[in-house]
Structure 1
Amino acid sequence: MLKLTDDLVFAKTGQHLNDLQDKVVRGTIQGETYEKIAEDFHCNESYVRDIGAKLWHIFSESLGEEVNKSNLRSAMERLQVSLFSSHSLFLSNIAQESVQIRNINFCEKTRQPPDIPNSNSDYQQPPTEHHELSEMPELGVFYDRTSELETLQTCILQEHCRLITITGISGIGKTQLAVKFLQEIKHNFEYILWYNLDHASTFTEFQAELIELFDPNTDSELIPKNGKRLKPIKYLQKHRCLVVIDNIHNLFLSNQLAGQYQSEYEEFRYLFKQIEELSHQSCFLLIGWEQPIELAEIRSSNPKFKTLTIRGLETTAIAEFFREQELGEDEKLTPIIYHYQGNPLWLNIIANFIPEMEDFGDKIIENNPIFLPQSLKDNLQQQFNRLSPLEKQVILELVQQEQPVNLAQLLIRGQIPSSDLFNALQSLFRRCWLEKPDHFYCLSPVLRQYIIELNH
C-alpha cells in the first residue's frame, strides 16, 4: 500500500516520498493522529497537517476522488482492487502491455526499483534541484576516517542532532571529512546548502542564499537587512535540510578568547539559538578552528548538539601516503609522523620539501629534527594571530618548561591569576593548541618549535 502512495507522488511530482511524507502516510494508514506523528518525528503538529493536506491533494487529483486522512486506507485498498482486476485483464489479453487508471500508468511488467527506469523507457529522473553545493570544494586524496564518518552518520541520521561542530587545528582534514560525508548521505536530505564563510561574508548574504535554496524566485534585493524578520527557521521546520557552514572561525574576534562573536555577526548567534530552542527537522554542520562559545558550553546539557574534534590520521594511513611519495621506509618515517601529529597538510608540506633538499632531505628523515618550512610557518601564523594576549602568555609559560606540567605547577608559578589561567587553558583546548596527556599540559612538537623560533 505504501508503494502505491509513493508511485502516485512520483507520477505527479517526479520525486519519491521524503522521510516525513513517508511517516505521515505510514502513520495515517496505522491510524495514528497528527499529534503522534509530529511527536515521533520531532516537528510541529501544524507542519505535519500541512504535509498531510498536500499529500491528500495529490492523491485526490491522481485518483479522481476526494482523499483525506480518514479515508486514505480505504482509497488505497480500492486502488489495489482495481490493479488486481487490471492484472487479471492483462493475463487474458497478452497484447495489452499496461493498464491506465485515472491518468496513471501502472506497468504490468516486473517492477524495478523506483530510481531505476525500465530499459525501454526514455524517461530520465531529473537531477535534484535543491542541493546548492557550488562552494563545496572537491574531494582530494582522502585517507581513512572510518570512525569519524560513522560518528557523523550516527549523530545526523540516527540521533537527528540539530547542530554539530567539526573542530580541529588547521590542515587536519575537517573540510575534507565533511565533503566525504556529504557525498555519502546527501540523498537523505531534501535541501542542502554548503556556505563558505569568508571575511567578506555577511549574515544577510547567508540568509539570502538559504532562502533562495527554498524559494528560487525570491528577489534577494527585497530581503530586509534585519535577519530576524524573515525567520529562516520556518523553512528549516518545513523541510528536511542540511546546512554546512565552513570556516566558522571567521565569525569570531581575533586577540580574544575562542568563540567571541564580532559585532557584525551577532545575527548568527541569534540563528544558532533558534536552532537550539525551536523544534525542526534540519541540521547545521559548522566547520572551523573555533566553535561558538555558547555552543561549547551547552552541548553537555543538550543531546541534540555535538562536537567532533578531529585529530591526526592513524600511522598506517600516513605511511601509505609516504610510500606513494617514495620517501623511504616506514620505520624511518614514523618519528616524522609523530612530530607532525598526523596532520595531512603539514605532512604534505614536509613531503614536498624533502625531495627539494636532496641530501639534506635524507638527513631530515634520519635525524628526525622538527623542521618548519616557510609555508608551514605561514599556516601557523594565521592561527597564532587569533590568540588572545592571555593565551600567548600561557603558551610562553609552557614553552619554558622542558617537561609537561600539571595545573598545580602552573598555579604555583603565580605568573597568571587563577581565573585567567583557567579561561586561557580552556580556550586553547577549544582551539586544539594544547595537549593534556595524563593531566599534564604541553604543546605539540610542531607548535612548540614554532613558538621557540618566533621568540628568537
Structure 2
Amino acid sequence: MNLKEMLHLADRIVFEKTGQHLDDLQEAVLKATLQHDTYKHVAKDFDCSESRVRNAASQLWQILSEELGEDVNKKNFRAAIHRFQVSNVSNFAKDVVVGIGIFNLCGEPRHPPDISNSHNDEKSNPQQTKTLHQDLSEMPELGDFFDRTPELQTLTTWILQQRCRLITLTGISGIGKTSLAVQLVQQIKHEFEYAVWYTLDEFPTLEKCQSNLIQLFFHSEKEDLPPTDQKRLPLIKYLQNHRCLIVLDDVHNLFCSGELAGKYKPESEEYRTLFKQIEKLSHQSCLMLIGWEQPREVTQIKSQNTSIRTLQLKGLDIATAREILRDYGLEESDNSEALIHHYQGNPLWLKSVANLIQDLGGGLTELLPNDTILLPEDLKDVLQQQFDRLSELEKQVISLLAKESQPINRAKLLENDIIPASDLLNALQSLSRRCLIEQQANFYTISPLLRQYLHRNLDGSDALP
C-alpha cells in the first residue's frame, strides 16, 4: 500500500471504532509517522505545542491498538497496518460469502459491520469478550499527558499478564498519578467485563461504595437471569464471577489527618476488610488504589510472589519535563535542567512556576538567578493540603531534614535530643510512605522546593540561608 491507501485504511478503522473520521492533526501524525518525521515538526506546522501532538498521537495509537488487537505505536504502525491488510486479504473470499466483508484489496469499504447486531455476534463467537459494562462517569478527562511509557507497561503487565488483584499507585501531589491511571484505563478497559472509577471523597463508608458497585453488577446481570435467580450477592462474589477493573481515586481520604500515614478514619475502617479480601480470596478482578497514602496492610507486604503491587510515581525525565517549559514559551537555557531538578520533574509544580514566569513576562535566567526557588501561591496551597495531614511527630522530623542542605545519615538523626529513636524511625517510615522524603541507603533528604517551603513556614523568612 502507498501512503494514501494506508491513511484511508487507518481512517476506516478509526471510523468503525469512534464514528468519526481522522481529523487534520491525527492525519498529520500518521503522515509524519509514515514519512519518519517528528512530532516537533507536526507541532510547528500546526502552530501548537509538541505535548498536544503527543496527546493526539497517544489517543490515536490507543484506538488503533484496540481495533487491531495489538499494541500499535509510532515504531510499528506501518507493519501493523500491513498485517491487518494481509489478514483481511486472506479472509476476503470467506468474508464475501458470509456477507461481512469489510475491506477489498485496495482498502475500500465493502460492508461495514452492523453495530446493532453486536450482541448477536458475541453469542455466535464464544471467544469474543462479553459486553463491557462501565461506570466511568467520575473518571477525569485526560488532559495533558506526558510520556509515561515504562510506568504504563509495568501496570499493564501487572494487571493483564500477572493478574494482580490489588495495585496501589502512590506519589506526592501533582506528580501525575490520576493522569497515568486514566491513560491506563482507556487502554485496557476492554479487557474487562466491568470497568469502574470512583473517587473516595464521595464514598467515605464502605457500605455506600459497595452498594453502588453491587447495584451496577446486579442490574447488568438481571437482564440475563430468570426472575427466580435474581438476588444480590456479596461484592466479592461478583469479583469472582466477572473480570472487573475497579479504580478508587483519592484513597488518602480514608485515612486520618494528624496521624502517621495509613491510619483509617473510624467511618472508613471497614475498607480494611475489603482490601484484605481482595488480596487473599481467589477472584479474577483487579482493584487499583490511587492516592498520597496507601493502606498499611499493603505496605506490609513486600514479597514479589504476592498478588499485591505498589508503584510509587516519580517525576518526569529531563527531556519530557522540558516540554512543559516549552509549552509556556520558556526557551532552552542553562537554568532549565536545574529548575526541573528543584521541582522534582513534578508536572503540576513545573506548570505552576512556568505560569508565574510567563505572567511576569520574564525568562528563566532573569527570574531564577543563582538557583532561586519560586513558590507560587497556588503551589503553596497544594503543598499545604498535604502537610496539613502530617502528625506532630512527622512535622518535627521533617523540620530536622529541612535544616540540612545535604542528605543526612540516619545515625546522626538519631543523635538528636528531642525525638526518641523509636518515634523518629516510625516518622521516617511514614514520611517515606507519603513520598515527602527521599532515602538512599541510610541517608535522608527532601527536595529543594520542599526545603524552601518548610523553611518559610518554620521561620517566616523568604530564602534559605
TM-score (norm 1): 0.70
**Which residue is 1:385 aligned to?**
388
Deviation readout 1:184-235 (Å, 9 max, x if unpaired) = 111111101100111663322211221122122799xxxxxxxxx9521000
Query: Take 1:252 and 1:230, find their aligned partners in 2: how far apart are those partners?
Result: 28
**Which residue is 1:37 aligned to?**
none
Q: How many residues align?
A: 340
**Where in structure 1 do 4 or more consecutive aligned residues deviate above 3 Å?**
108-112, 120-129, 359-362
Query: Take 1:122 and 1:289, find their aligned partners in 2: how far apart are those partners?
Result: 46
SS of the aligned residue for 1:415 comes to coil
Matched, 1:327 2:325: no
**Which residue is 1:216 aligned to?**
219
Deviation readout 1:98-138 (Å, 9 max, x if unpaired) = 6xxxxxxxx277698xxxx9716544437955011100001
Deviation at 1:334, TM superposition (A): 1.0
Deviation readout 1:144-173 (Å, 9 max, x if unpaired) = 101100100111111100000000000000
**Which residue is 1:139 aligned to?**
142
| Residues 324 and 283 (structure 1), Cα distance of their counterparts in 2 relative to 1, 3 Å cut | same
Alignment check: 8 A CA contact 1:163 1:275 kept: yes
Paired residue for 1:270, among 251, 270, 273? 273
| Residues 110 and 398 (structure 1), Cα distance of their counterparts in 2 relative to 1, 3 Å cut | closer
| Residues 119 and 301 (structure 1), Cα distance of their counterparts in 2 relative to 1, 3 Å cut | closer
Paired residue for 1:166, among 166, 169, 176? 169
TM-score (norm 2): 0.69
Query: Take 2:190 and 2:221, find their aligned partners in 1: how far apart are those partners?
Result: 25
Query: Take 1:121 and 1:333, find their aligned partners in 2: how far apart are those partners?
Result: 52
Deviation readout 1:6-30 (Å, 9 max, x if unpaired) = xxxxxxxxxxxxxxxxxxxxxxxxx
- One-letter amino acid of the counterpart of residue 356, structure 1: D
Query: Take 1:122 and 1:407, find their aligned partners in 2: how far apart are those partners?
Result: 66
| Residues 133 and 399 (structure 1), Cα distance of their counterparts in 2 relative to 1, 3 Å cut | same
**Which residue is 1:429 aligned to?**
432
Query: Take 1:218 and 1:388, find their aligned partners in 2: how far apart are those partners?
Result: 46
Q: How does 1:223-302 map to 2 (within 5 A)?
A: 231-300=234-303
In structure 2, the gaps of 5 or more residues are 1-92, 104-108, 120-129, 223-231, 461-465
Matched, 1:337 2:329: no
**Which residue is 1:410 aligned to?**
413
Query: Take 1:149 and 1:324, find their aligned partners in 2: how far apart are those partners?
Result: 24
| Residues 312 and 134 (structure 1), Cα distance of their counterparts in 2 relative to 1, 3 Å cut | same
Deviation readout 1:239-292 (Å, 9 max, x if unpaired) = 000100000000000000000001101121111111111100000000000000
Query: Take 1:361 and 1:129, find their aligned partners in 2: how far apart are those partners?
Result: 49
Query: Take 1:120 and 1:328, find their aligned partners in 2: how far apart are those partners?
Result: 49
Paired residue for 2:398, among 387, 395, 398? 395
Query: Take 2:304 and 2:364, find their aligned partners in 1: how far apart are those partners?
Result: 50
Identity of aligned residues (%): 53
| Residues 371 and 235 (structure 1), Cα distance of their counterparts in 2 relative to 1, 3 Å cut | same
Query: Take 1:246 and 1:130, find their aligned partners in 2: how far apart are those partners?
Result: 19
Query: Take 1:178 and 1:144, find their aligned partners in 2: how far apart are those partners?
Result: 13
| Residues 110 and 321 (structure 1), Cα distance of their counterparts in 2 relative to 1, 3 Å cut | same
| Residues 120 and 338 (structure 1), Cα distance of their counterparts in 2 relative to 1, 3 Å cut | closer
Query: Take 1:383 and 1:108, find their aligned partners in 2: how far apart are those partners?
Result: 60
Matched, 1:119 2:111: yes
Query: Take 1:302 and 1:264, find their aligned partners in 2: how far apart are those partners?
Result: 32
In structure 1, the gaps of 5 or more residues are 1-90, 92-96, 99-106, 220-228
Alignment check: 8 A CA contact 1:212 1:218 kept: no
- One-letter amino acid of the counterpart of residue 435, structure 1: E
**Which residue is 1:348 aligned to?**
351
Matched, 1:452 2:455: yes
